[in-house]
Structure 1
Amino acid sequence: MNKLKAQLHIVFPGFCKVFSDITGVTAVAVLKRFPTPEDVINAQPDEIIKLISLSSRKGLNYAKAKYDKLFKAAKNALNFRYNLSSVYDVLKINVYLIEEFDKKINLILSEIKAFVDKNKSEKFVQQIYYLDSIPGVGFLSAVTLMCEIGDFSAFSKPKQLFAYFGVDPSQ
């Protein structure tokens, strides 16, 4: 990610301010299709807006606002960048690697979900479902917590669990 940021600062300064997560689905989709400021400037606005809307799943108003920021950043980049074609090649490689890592991560997550679904009757898995039912706790967080804790029965009081996580050091 740091290499990608560094490359973007060279050839497309301002891109990182438009997309706070440059390895996110939307930023990667935009970089893959429109890697240079010229590509953004010369593209049909509706094409970029549609791409942002679909990849972010946040609607047209969000996409239009992002497009406006992206277009402005692209215009500014023409004046405040080093136009090195080799950096664009490295940028494309990094975007490819991010996509491949995302595919592998999604595959691993699918395997974890399949394993959990296959073992629904196990007490450990039931505790994962219990944690996952709490608002703000997602499936991956629930699995991670259970892998860290092991089993809630190891703690006779909530304070012991808090101490285990370092929240209540007096225990």
Structure 2
Amino acid sequence: MTDAPTRLADLARPMQHAMNNFFMVLQANLEAVQASLPPEERNAVRVGRALQGAREMEALIRAYLRLGRPHEEGQVDSGRFLESVRPVLALAVAKPLKVEVLATAAIAPPRPEVDLALLDLAAGARALPPGTPLLRLDGNAIAVNWPAPEGVLETLAGLGLQASSQDGATRVVLG
């Protein structure tokens, strides 16, 4: 019998390193081809779309792989933190997620635990009509326009974060 979660966590860092290398090669080559084409040419548009798709795929894979990495706590800018977790939050919402960044601040969230708790919070937006989910970052606090699903506030509190939900909205202080 194997312990799949532990083995996957052990592979998360080397997997992310390998993916970084692959995406660097892919994006560098796409950028070189794009630069060699006149901007109005049909193939330039296609290469531009492929390049954008590669960037979005890299962000999604990075966010996904971070969920399996071992525990770490390091200081990070809240805007960079949000951008790193945004792709998987958008998947959890299962519809377009509007994100607004009003201000950023230095935070030290316990990861991947906070990432996973925010995934649980994002699942609460599934009941909203399309185009409605909004996540707003203001310094070290995230506010969303939906109530936290059952158990999420307790999970966030267990991670040492302040979290509250009232009037159909939820606020989480990341540190």
TM-score (norm: length of structure 2): 0.25
RCO greater where, 1 or 2, for CA within 8 Å and sep 6 or more?
A: 1
Query: Which structure is higher in helix share?
Result: 1
Structure with higher Rg: it is 1
Query: Which structure is higher in strand share?
Result: 2
TM-score (norm: length of structure 1): 0.26
